[in-house]
Amino acid sequence: MRRYTVQHDYRAETDGRLFGPWVAGDEVQLADDDAAWVGRSSPGVLKLTRARKTRGSDGKPTGGGTDPNGGSAAGGDPDDADDEPGGEPPPG
């Protein structure tokens, strides 16, 4: 899944799936096929967000990513454990 910045207000529904409502400036995370559908329904609405490098106090990269708290298309998701198939956290 990739992260995108919404360029203008958007809301759509297809096959019972809702995309949005989003407003310009929102960041969303979408699977490639979903992003392609949204792009076809409203060209220019999504702009791929560049990964931001996270740096520690020593100035060295700490792993990077676009959102240190996880995330989903619906908004921040500080606990990605429930994002696994079946809704169960991974063992361990």
For 22, counting Cβ atoms within 10 Å of its Cβ (0-12 exposed, 13-18 middle, 19+ buried), the class is buried
Say how many residues make up the chain. Answer: 92
Give dist(CA 50, CA 29) in Å, integer. Answer: 12
Domain 2-66: top CATH class? alpha beta
pTM: 0.56
DSSP assigned state of 33: H
27-45: b or e for each residue (b if 16 or more CB lie within 10 Å)? Answer: bbbbeeebbebbeeebeeb
Q: Mean pLDDT in runs of 10 for the chain (92 residues)? A: 96 95 96 96 95 63 47 41 44 53
Could you report the per-residue pLDDT of 10-34, keeping only the tens digit for each?
A: 999 999 999 999 999 999 999 999 9
